[in-house]
A and B are shown apart, each in its own frame.
Chain A
């Protein structure tokens, strides 16, 4: 089975600064999708950004961007101009292109934004 590893249980960032959350994964598949989800305290999990493995270009969504290194099996999330509302648990997730909607999640990184 695929595994997703987030080695940073907790991170903090000053408001308006930039922070990078790390994620590595292990797979033997060539076609897959990677995601970052955000789960604010006591609130719903929402999709932040996704990356298709067949695309070499890194995905970007406003202040959120990823650094996708397929050979290294690395998928980090960069948050620029951090805002108080970015404080949440961030989960990295993997989905095979071959097996429906079975997502594998990392253990999460708790992000604190310091005013």
Chain B
């Protein structure tokens, strides 16, 4: 079974631009979560989508948004990029049920904002 895939793997953007990252979960997984990883703040939860609905949301500004499609693929969008948005963005998928707690992570998208 294929793992979690994320595209693109690397991205360089300029301040003020917007960016869209994509995540394809493991087949059959309905939950997709997004995390931002930086050296200073570590891993921080952005949001979780389950069956096309946002189920949980972390403490990030509204510039960070996401969505999930009917095939469970998810995208996250960051608008009006700031230098501080430079990070590794990780996506994780799981079956999503109440007791299905294992998350499987993708390789991440490395975003650099200049």
Chain A residues, CB < 8 A from B89: none
State the interface size on chain A (CB cutoff 8 A): 21
Q: Is the CB of A47 within 8 A of B33?
A: no
Instruction: Give bound CA distance, A44 to B22, whole Å.
Output: 16
For chain B residues 100-114, which have a beta carbon within 8 Å of chain A? Answer: 101-108
A80 interface residue per 8 A CB criterion: no
B16 to chain A, nearest CB (A): 29
The answer to whether A103 touches B104, judged by C-beta atoms less than 8 angstroms apart, is: no
Q: A91 to B43, Cβ gap below 8 A?
A: yes
Q: Across the two chains, which residue of chain A brings its CB closest to B100?
A: A101
Q: Is the CB–CB distance between A105 and B96 below 8 Å?
A: no
B64-109 residues at the A interface, CB under 8 angstroms: 90, 92, 94, 96, 98-99, 101-108
User: Which residues does B use to contact A, with CB under 8 Å?
Assistant: 3, 31, 33, 35, 42-45, 48, 50, 55-56, 58, 90, 92, 94, 96, 98-99, 101-108
Give 20 A-B pairs besides A45-B92, A101-B96, A105-B35 with Cβ atoms closer than 8 angstroms. Answer: A37-B105, A44-B3, A44-B108, A46-B105, A50-B101, A91-B43, A97-B98, A99-B56, A100-B55, A101-B31, A101-B33, A101-B48, A101-B55, A101-B94, A101-B103, A102-B48, A102-B56, A102-B58, A103-B33, A103-B43
Interface residues of A (CB under 8 A from B): 33, 37, 43-47, 50, 91, 95, 97, 99-108
22 residue pairs A–B, Cβ–Cβ below 8 Å: A43-B107, A45-B90, A45-B105, A46-B105, A50-B101, A50-B102, A91-B42, A91-B43, A97-B98, A100-B31, A100-B96, A101-B94, A102-B56, A102-B58, A103-B33, A103-B43, A103-B45, A103-B103, A104-B45, A105-B35, A105-B42, A105-B43
